[in-house]
Every structure is written in structure tokens, then in C-alpha cells.
Structure 1
Amino acid sequence: MQIKNKLGPALAVVIVATTIVWMLSGSNGITHAQSESNTQDSSSPESDHADQAFFVKATTSQAVPVTESITLSGQTTADNIITLTNRIAGYVTDVFVTKGQSIEAGKVLFKIDDRSLKASHLYAKALVKQRTLELQGVLRLNNQQLTSQVSVAEAEAALASAKANLIDLELDIEKTSMTSHSSGVLNKFAIEKNQWLDIGSDVAQIVDVSPLKVTTLIPQKYIGKTLVGSPVNLKGPNNIEITGIITFIDTIADEATRSLPVEITLDDAKGLPAGISVDINLPLKESNAHPISPALLSINDDGDMSVKTLEGNTVVSRAVSVIKSDRNHAWVSGLPNTVTIITSGQGFVKDGDFVKAEVTDGVQAQ
């Protein structure tokens, strides 16, 4: 009984001691766990951001000078089109040309009967001589005070009238010969011998196609980018290639299209006629652009063509304009002269994203 009384307190002491040891070891375990947790929470945010960054490839690109060009449709026009009108009525006595013939300035096309006019001309010359003698006689009488100043004035008027009539007849005789005052092709001509012609009748059309010109309209967004004197490449029917020079740019825009009329003079029309359509490759002013793969182009939130670039490790989407393109490249403007362009992975990142990048130097397209 005495042993039981002593065992109870001893067992209690052991239990209390064991509990204290367990609590102490548990407390250290909790503290250790919390310490590890705090260590993990205190890691760098940038380190986490870098670990989660998407990997892209990029190329450093340098802008190159590029001549922008636009393709337009134009129409060939003659340098000069002249319609000849008959100036005196009469029968045609001689025809010296045929339709479609090339003629030089000063060429006589046909003649109208001038026999009556020449007869009148002889009479008019004789009348002038007569009026001249009459005036001389009146002047002698006037010097001797045998006639009045009125008689002198009448004689002078009669002579002036005779001379005027003579000049009119000489001009009419000139009109009987229809002469071309311009070189070109006789485009319209149907005059025949013995045909009666009235005054004012259209008798011929002469088309001067040397040089041949091409007219077109430049859209207003290209105003100021085209210069007089710039060379132009054109393509006519059957892929005939022609070169020309911009010789005129209008200063007043077309009211309907808001475009500027332009004239191009062809060095060698290669036999092209006036009035046909041609394709025009019109050069614009030179500007700096980057050659890229067309696959790198995308549409941004504003609906503009854009390219994804890098500033450090941050994605920057930049709006661009395509100046020209071919099968392998698109030349774009709107970027800095030196820029880093994302070439792989651009479809998986957006503006403002932080990325990992492998950057190489670009090879410029020619």
C-alpha cells in the first residue's frame, strides 16, 4: 500500500516531464516550418517574374533607304490635237494628202478653186493704181488752190478703200490653200476633189503624238511625295514596257476625287496610239524603312498594321505602314532607325509583356 502511494506521484512527474519535452520539440518544429515558409515568401518578385517570362527570339534591324512607289492606271494622250476648219467656200480642185498620213507643219492638204478670186485680185490691183493717180492729181490741184480739202479727203478715202479690198482678196486667196500649221498624223480627213465646202466646215484632224503623253490622277495622301522630273516606268498592251518623265503636276485637285492630275511625257512611245490605258509604276520620295517578313505583321487594337518590338525585355507594339513588298519581304516605315524586332514567339505575347529574348543581328534585304 505504501508502494502504491509513492508510485502515483512519481508517475505524475514522468507524465508531466514527457509532456513538456513533447511541447518543446513541437514548438521547435513549428518554428522551423514557419522559418522555411518565411524564407520562401521573402524571395524576389523579379525572380518569380523572370521565371514565368515567355521566351522569344528577336533581331536588331537597321533601317535602309527605300523608294516608295504606287501603281496607277493612266491613259495615253496626244501632245496636241488640232481640228482644221475651212475658211472660204468653194469647190475643191486639188487634194494632196490621204487619211493616216504623217505630215509636217506647212504642208498643203488641198486647194479650193481660186480663179474668180485671182481675177478680182487683178481688178483690185488696177483700182489701187487708179486711186493712187487720182489722189496725186487732186493734191496738185489743191497745191494750186484749184480744189478744196474735201476733194483731197475723198480721194484719200477712195485709195484706202481700194487697198483694203486688195488685202481682203489676197487673204481670201491664201485661204483657198488649206495648210497644216502643226506636224502630226492626219487622223481625220475625207475631202475629195470637186467637193463643195462651206465656210466653217471641219475638214481635218491632226494628232501630234511626238511626244506621246500619259495622264493620271495621284491620290491626295501622296501629294508632296511626287516630284516633277522623276522617272516613271509604264506598261502598255502586250506588256510593252515604256519609260517616261513626270513633266507636270497640277496645283488644283480634281473636285470629284480630290486627286491631283499628272502628266507623264514618254521618251519613246514604241508606236502606242493615243487614248489607250497603261499601268504606271509611280515613284515617290525616298524614305527609311525596315525589311521584315510579312508574317511578322499583325493588327493592333486600333486596327492599324503593327510590329512587335523589344525595349529591354518589354514588348512594345508599334504601328507601321507598308511602303513596298515582294515575295519575301515587306518594307515598313514608322519604326526607329535601329530597333529590335521580335521574330519568333510574337504571336504569344502582347504589348507590355516581360519576356526572355535571344537577340541576333539582322541581315538587311536588298
Structure 2
Amino acid sequence: MKKSYIIAAVLTLALTAWVLGGYFLRTVGKEADGTTPVADAAPTMRVAVRTQEAKPVSQIVVAQGQAEPNRTVTVRAETLGQIAEILADEGSTVAAGDVIARLEPNAREARIERAKARLREQESAYEAAQALGKKGYQTQRQSDQIYSSLQTAKHELEVAMIEQERLDIKAPFEGEVLTVPIELGAYVDVNGEVATIVDNHPLVVSVQITQQDITDLKVGQKATVTFATGQKGEGKIRYIAARADEGTRTFRVEIELPNPDGAIPSGISAEARIPTGSVMAQFVSPADLSLNEAGKLGVKTVGKDSRVVFHEASIVMSDASGAWVIGLPPQARIITLGHGYVQIGEQVQVAEEQGSTGMDGSKEAAARLTTRRVDEPTAAQ
């Protein structure tokens, strides 16, 4: 055997004996002092906690949508003719029954006069037939024929009068004239477009609600709407679709808002906020949130036995500063520093944050914390 191998073996044995000797000396010393050996002590972590109580928080469903008119109609001509007058301009407001445009009468007045003359003639013939019938000079069949002619004459006069009335093309309801695609002197056919009228009072905001939130809504529920123009309004839900859209799996919900002066135009984007009640929740910063082994979002707290507890949390509402969550106990000791280094069920040392209220209601000063284990030596040591 080479000399170098022998030297190396001796040095190894000596080093092992020195280490074991020191270990047993430390163990004996601990036992002699009556303390637990370091090897038997479970190392613990020091964490910072913030003790807080749950507060009532309003639950709000927020949805994006757009403003729509209450009603929109395309006014069409019911008879053909030449445009004689245009009485409503684009952008003007009309009341129900106002004349938008008028057609030339042409031969319609003469047709009415002919129908009136024929009616008078048939009425005289019917009266004469009645008198002859009483004397027995008129058969019942002849009387029936004359009566039928009288009814036809009445019908022809009614049709002529209706045609005369259709010369005035009227607004069906109050609203604003959006378009008037006709010109003076132009001809329009039956069903030809004359004007488009929109009714923006009340205004309707249409939004799409997810299937998770639709059960929290009901007709008559109040809502606050903010429009892209910066204007705001308050209204109520007037309609909830009974079936989800097959493509998006969302439900159409309509919110009705008063808009008497028409200050809010239709067609613009809007955001609706619909309160659905209140819930007791805890406010946490994004740094307080963590995931468990199953990937569930939650918050780690410290129980009364100083052990780490994980609570699955659901976010009620959030902003840039943090989130309101449910799933925590009414009073919780939330780990704000060190939660990433401790395991669920692990016993920890706790230091309350400055100004935080402890479980017993007292104020405890916060210690300067690190994420080291307490059995690790510090730089001073």
C-alpha cells in the first residue's frame, strides 16, 4: 500500500473522531444543563402577522355594454306619391302624430267626390227598393242586390278617405328625427322609407352578464351606469334574458334610465355597476395572497396554537391597492411577511405588525423580521 494512501486514511479517521467527539460533548453539556439537545428541537420560523376583523363589503356586478334607444322606427309611406312638403328636419324633435312629410293629393280628392256621389245614388236606390218591397212590387232578391251595391259604395268611400289620410306621413311616437332620406318633389313608392325616429327617453343600457353572476340579478334591481362621455345615471333592470347566448354563454340584461332631455345619446359605450348585496370580507394586499399545493388561491393565517392555517379565498372586489376576499374567519391573523417560507400546519413564532390589534385586543409592537429560521446565527453571533 502506498504511503500517501495510509496518510489519507489516518487523517480521515482523526477528523471523524474529532467531529463525533465534539457532537457528544455538546449533547452531554446540554443534558447536564437540563436543556433539550439542539438536534431534538424543531426549528421554527418567525413571521409577521396583521390581525384584522372582517367588514361588510358591497358585492357589485360590473359589466360593459352600450346605450341603446328605447325605440327606433323607420317611418315608411303607405301610399305612392310625390313629396309635396318635408316638415321635419334631421335632428329635430317630433311628437306623436306630427306630420313628417306630405304627398301631393293629385286625383285623390276627385276620387273621394265620386265615391260620395255613388254612395248617395245607392242610398236613394235602397230607400226606393224598401218602399216598393213594402207594397209587394220588389222581390227580396232585388232588394238584396241593391243593399249589396250600397255597402260597396260605402267601402269605396272609406278606401278613398284612407288614401287621402295617408298623404300625411306622421310620427308614431315622440322622438328625435335621425334621418330623412327624401327630397322635395321626389316620388316614393308604397313602403318607401321617409324618416328614421329614435326615442332616447328612457335610455336603455344593454350589458352581457356571465352565467356565474346572472342568478344574483332580478328585474327592478337598481344599477349605476357610467358612460364613455363621462356622464352618469341611475336606473333599474327591466329585462333579463331567459336564455344564454350560445356563443358567449352570457345573458343579455337591459337597464332602463330616465333621459328626459335627451342629454345622453344612444350608441355610446357604458359600464354598469349593479349592487347585489353585502358580505363580510377581509381586505388584503396582493402580497398577502398565495397558492396551496392544489393551486387554489388563498391566505395563510396563524391560529391560536401558533400554527399556519391556509384559507381558500374568493375575491369579492379589487383595485390597485388590494382585494376584498371571503373565506377567512371573522377575525384573522394574516401572515404578511414570511408566508412563502412556512408550510400549512407548521408552528411559527409571531410578531404583530406595528399598530395591529392582537387576538386579545392589545397592541403589540412589531419586530424587525427576516425569513431566516431562529436557530440560524445572525451576523452579530
| TM-score of the aligned structures, taking structure 1 as reference length | 0.81
How much has 1:308 moved relative to structure 2?
A: 0.3
- 1:318-329 equivalence runs, <5 A: 318-329=311-322
**Aligned equivalent of 1:62, options 53, 67, 74:** 53
**Aligned equivalent of 2:172, options 178, 181, 192:** 181
How much has 1:362 moved relative to structure 2?
A: 6.8
Q: What is the alpha-carbon distance in structure 2 between the residues aligned to residue 90 and residue 239 of structure 1?
A: 46
**Aligned equivalent of 1:226, options 213, 217, 223:** 217
Hey, what does 1:112 align to over in structure 2? 103
Q: Does 1:255 align with 2:251?
A: no
Hey, what does 2:145 align to over in structure 1? 154
Q: How many residues align?
A: 328
Hey, what does 2:79 align to over in structure 1? 88
Q: What is the alpha-carbon distance in structure 2 between the residues aligned to residue 135 and residue 180 of structure 1?
A: 41
Greater shift, 65-74 or 82-91, is seen at 65-74
The letter of the residue matching 1:292 is: V
Give the conservation status (yes or no) of the 8 Å contact 1:227–1:284.
no
Q: What is the alpha-carbon distance in structure 1 between the residues aligned to residue 30 and residue 294 of structure 2?
A: 45
How much has 1:291 moved relative to structure 2?
A: 1.2
Q: Does 1:309 align with 2:319?
A: no
The letter of the residue matching 1:361 is: T
How much has 1:86 moved relative to structure 2?
A: 0.7
Give the conservation status (yes or no) of the 8 Å contact 2:223–2:234.
yes
Give the greater-gyration-radius structure (CA): 1
Q: What is the alpha-carbon distance in structure 1 between the residues aligned to residue 358 and residue 202 of structure 2?
A: 47
The letter of the residue matching 1:97 is: A
Q: Does 1:294 align with 2:294?
A: no
| TM-score of the aligned structures, taking structure 2 as reference length | 0.78
How much has 1:358 moved relative to structure 2?
A: 4.2
CA separation of 1:330 and 1:313: change in aligned 2, threshold 3 A:
same
Q: What is the alpha-carbon distance in structure 1 between the residues aligned to residue 35 and residue 72 of structure 2?
A: 87
How much has 1:178 moved relative to structure 2?
A: 0.4
Q: What is the alpha-carbon distance in structure 1 between the residues aligned to residue 273 and residue 132 of structure 2?
A: 83
The C-alpha deviation readout for 1:50-97, integer Å capped at 9, x for no partner, is x63322233433221111334432111111001111111111222212
Partner SS state of residue 157, structure 1: helix
Unaligned 5+ residue runs, structure 2? 1-24, 360-381
Give the conservation status (yes or no) of the 8 Å contact 1:99–1:190.
no
Hey, what does 1:97 align to over in structure 2? 88
Hey, what does 1:344 align to over in structure 2? 337
How much has 1:37 moved relative to structure 2?
A: 9.3
Q: What is the alpha-carbon distance in structure 2 between the residues aligned to residue 122 and residue 290 of structure 1?
A: 84
Q: Does 1:125 align with 2:121?
A: no
How much has 1:292 moved relative to structure 2?
A: 2.0
Q: Does 1:276 align with 2:268?
A: yes
Hey, what does 2:362 align to over in structure 1? none
Greater shift, 60-69 or 132-141, is seen at 60-69
- 1:227-246 equivalence runs, <5 A: 227-246=218-237
How much has 1:43 moved relative to structure 2?
A: 7.6
Q: What is the alpha-carbon distance in structure 2 between the residues aligned to residue 82 and residue 243 of structure 1?
A: 26
Q: Which has the higher helix share?
A: 1
Q: What is the alpha-carbon distance in structure 1 between the residues aligned to residue 138 and residue 145 of structure 2?
A: 12
The C-alpha deviation readout for 1:133-190, integer Å capped at 9, x for no partner, is 1111111111111121111111110101101111111111111110111111111103
Give the conservation status (yes or no) of the 8 Å contact 1:188–1:205.
yes
The sequence identity of aligned pairs, in percent, is: 28
CA separation of 1:314 and 1:270: change in aligned 2, threshold 3 A:
farther
How much has 1:342 moved relative to structure 2?
A: 2.1
Q: What is the alpha-carbon distance in structure 2 between the residues aligned to residue 270 and residue 108 of structure 1?
A: 21
How much has 1:230 moved relative to structure 2?
A: 3.6
The letter of the residue matching 2:330 is: N
Q: What is the alpha-carbon distance in structure 2 between the residues aligned to residue 307 and residue 334 of structure 1?
A: 9
The letter of the residue matching 1:285 is: G
